[in-house]
Chains A and B, each alone.
Chain A
């Protein structure tokens, strides 16, 4: 097995092609554990993982917890509402206090872009970015790439469309970086009010018309519309958004016959995706959730195993 030489996972940008392949290969070998009767191996026994969620999250937090527990690590979860953050403690002080308890890994979800970078400078524990502001969500991109590779057998030479609110999507940013690095071609589409300036500098191709953007695609990745953005300045109504950018079966037919449809969740049924599409055989949305646990197991294993010597038998 190759060497994973990182203290932290802060973003896809820091990973090489070899790193990503190693994570996906490791996840593939660990995935089977979750199908056993006894879903636990002792690989990370005696290690501790802190899940520090400054922003609400169900799926990602549970996924990290399950991943850690299946590897026998001890886990503690903190959310902002129950922590000293609401008492005015700075992130830096919280970090120092956590560090004083000697965890091996801190998983951080935070509403500020760059917060995991700040944390990583303060603590000797490994830091995993579980989503920071509108910057990156690297474990989501890794589980997405895992799911695509599982279905398509490869990542290179695939055509992927990412549709929706690109501006505010850390999922989009991480996936553009990861997929293009692995040799896929990424097309982004969405309302111009939700398209960041110079997006093509990240390696994606911008096609404003969603119908054209979906043409001959192997993978369609729909992004969640944050309902609170409605009635602000970005789009007038959900109704209008869904009629132009919502994924319907009619639009799915623009893509390749064996297209797979992905969504990072949680779904707004009837907004960015119709129920018909979400529940169709094209959809791999629940596979993404299953694979999330495997990918996070792989990361915990590689980060702890890589930095603290090999005591996993």
Chain B
């Protein structure tokens, strides 16, 4: 089977180019990239996809999502999360281990892989826990987990409190070829806090979480990376100080990589005014100044990856008192338009923006992907960058709708997602 994607604008983050091109897909792979019109269609078996005024981008890779299965299937399942992913242009996901039970052993890792295969949409890469039960006491069996198919380890949701244990985790994970992803939060400084500590928390009377809470741990992880010579990846960077620390670490040549989430470069703490629990997230939304620093960090390459930290919660956790509400927001279906906003604002070039949503994560996790060259699997998305729409709760594919972007106008929409040459979005039939 041959597919011709015609007259589109190809965005190649690896080469850093944007060019008009026709793309030929044979079976699972990209077999040809031609200047517009150069490919001569012969024979009638070619499926033609008109991509005029559309961007053709590599399938996006989200290295930080919560799929909630096993244990919290009422919030999201691997299947529903995969549907949300392909709707948003993602073709691969790495899911965090804070499920019930947590993914801290081979059997849970295998279960997640199996559920991912059954869903048959985005490729699901499990991230296993650093410590048994994410309790911060004993390392999990990195070797076994790696063999089972985990791509990284993280105790996301918590920092590993014990610095000696974190040091050993870095050393041991490196030996097994697993990346360590650190959620940076000094729990003694965040205790009781529910939003960023700043003028808004003072104004609306909510206990705050200072920026230092994150930065102290970012510095610790950088120090441990330096001590051990092992890589570390910093999850969801939210503060100016963290960007500065990571910048300096990179300048010294340390093996530190970092990600941020679209909400940290889009929203500030004023989104919490009115006690909107959909704006409650951990780390919290910070100040305008932090938002600017995150944008600058992205522009200057200090922050390598945009990951969503897609964190579905249902009404039971969100339609409650602010301090009792769960932290987190969904992100798979809004990441692309919010990142394209950075391009329109001149923060990032189009290839850089797409790279931060795709191949950069593939490089860090060692999974590859996120590229569009001859011979690659045809994992890609076709995007209308001009399409403007208001996000409606009813249109959300994820099982949960906890996002402060409902009712907001977004620009840029994924129209078609292909995985291995097969169209997986739009969905063919209404599935259960």
| A residues with CB within 8 A of B | 90-92, 110, 112-115, 117-118, 132-136, 170, 173, 196-199, 201-202
Q: How far is the CB of B295 from chain A (nearest CB, A)?
A: 23
A91 contacts B202, C-beta separation under 8 Å: no
B205 contacts A170, C-beta separation under 8 Å: yes
A114 contacts B321, C-beta separation under 8 Å: yes
Indicate whether A112 sits within 8 Å of B201 (C-beta atoms), given known contacts A118-B275, A197-B208. no
B199 contacts A197, C-beta separation under 8 Å: yes
Q: Does B73 contact A (CB under 8 A)?
A: no
Q: Does B274 contact A (CB under 8 A)?
A: yes
Complex alpha-carbon distance, A201 and B287, angstroms? 15
A134 contacts B319, C-beta separation under 8 Å: no
> Is chain A's interface secondary structure helix, strand, loop, or mixed overall?
mixed
Q: How far is the CB of A7 from chain B (nearest CB, A)?
A: 16
- Within 8 Å CB of A170, what residues of B? 205
Contact of B202 among A110, A112, A133, A199 (CB under 8 A): A199
Complex alpha-carbon distance, A135 and B316, angstroms? 23
Q: How far is the CB of B349 from chain A (nearest CB, A)?
A: 37
Contact of B206 among A90, A110, A133, A202 (CB under 8 A): A133
Q: Does B136 contact A (CB under 8 A)?
A: no
Residues 196-222 of chain B, each 1 if its beta carbon lies under 8 Å from chain A, else 0 = 011101111111100000000000000
B205 contacts A117, C-beta separation under 8 Å: no
CB within 8 Å of A: which B254-302 residues: 274-275
A54's nearest neighbour on chain B, judged by CB, is B321
Indicate whether A113 sits within 8 Å of B206 (C-beta atoms), given known contacts A92-B319, A118-B321. yes
- Within 8 Å CB of A199, what residues of B? 202
- Within 8 Å CB of A198, what residues of B? 198-199, 202
Contact of B205 among A90, A118, A136, A201 (CB under 8 A): A136
Residues 297-318 of chain B, each 1 if its beta carbon lies under 8 Å from chain A, else 0 = 0000000000000000000100
Q: Does B320 contact A (CB under 8 A)?
A: yes
Pick 8 A–B contacts, CB within 8 A, sort by A. Answer: A113-B206, A114-B206, A118-B319, A134-B205, A196-B201, A197-B198, A198-B198, A199-B202
A196 contacts B202, C-beta separation under 8 Å: yes
Complex alpha-carbon distance, A133 and B201, angstroms? 12
- Within 8 Å CB of A133, what residues of B? 205-206, 323
Complex alpha-carbon distance, A136 and B203, angstroms? 10
Complex alpha-carbon distance, A9 and B286, angstroms? 29
Contact of A113 among B199, B275, B319, B320 (CB under 8 A): B275
Complex alpha-carbon distance, A198 and B198, angstroms? 7
CB within 8 Å of A: which B72-92 residues: none
A114 contacts B324, C-beta separation under 8 Å: no
B195's nearest neighbour on chain A, judged by CB, is A113
- Within 8 Å CB of B323, what residues of A? 112-113, 133
A135 contacts B202, C-beta separation under 8 Å: no
Q: Does B377 contact A (CB under 8 A)?
A: no
Pairs A-B, 9 closest by C-beta atoms:
A135-B205, A114-B275, A112-B321, A198-B199, A196-B202, A113-B205, A114-B322, A134-B205, A201-B199
- Within 8 Å CB of B321, what residues of A? 91, 110, 112, 114-115, 118
A90 contacts B320, C-beta separation under 8 Å: yes
- Within 8 Å CB of B201, what residues of A? 196-197
- Within 8 Å CB of A115, what residues of B? 321
Complex alpha-carbon distance, A217 and B274, angstroms? 34
A132 contacts B205, C-beta separation under 8 Å: yes
Complex alpha-carbon distance, A133 and B324, angstroms? 12
Q: How far is the CB of A184 from chain B (nearest CB, A)?
A: 19
Complex alpha-carbon distance, A173 and B204, angstroms? 9
Q: Known pairs A113-B204, A135-B205, A197-B202; list 14 more (Cβ under 8 Å).
A: A90-B320, A110-B321, A112-B324, A113-B322, A114-B204, A115-B321, A118-B319, A133-B205, A134-B206, A198-B198, A198-B202, A199-B202, A201-B202, A202-B202
A134 contacts B274, C-beta separation under 8 Å: no
Q: How far is the CB of B119 from chain A (nearest CB, A)?
A: 32
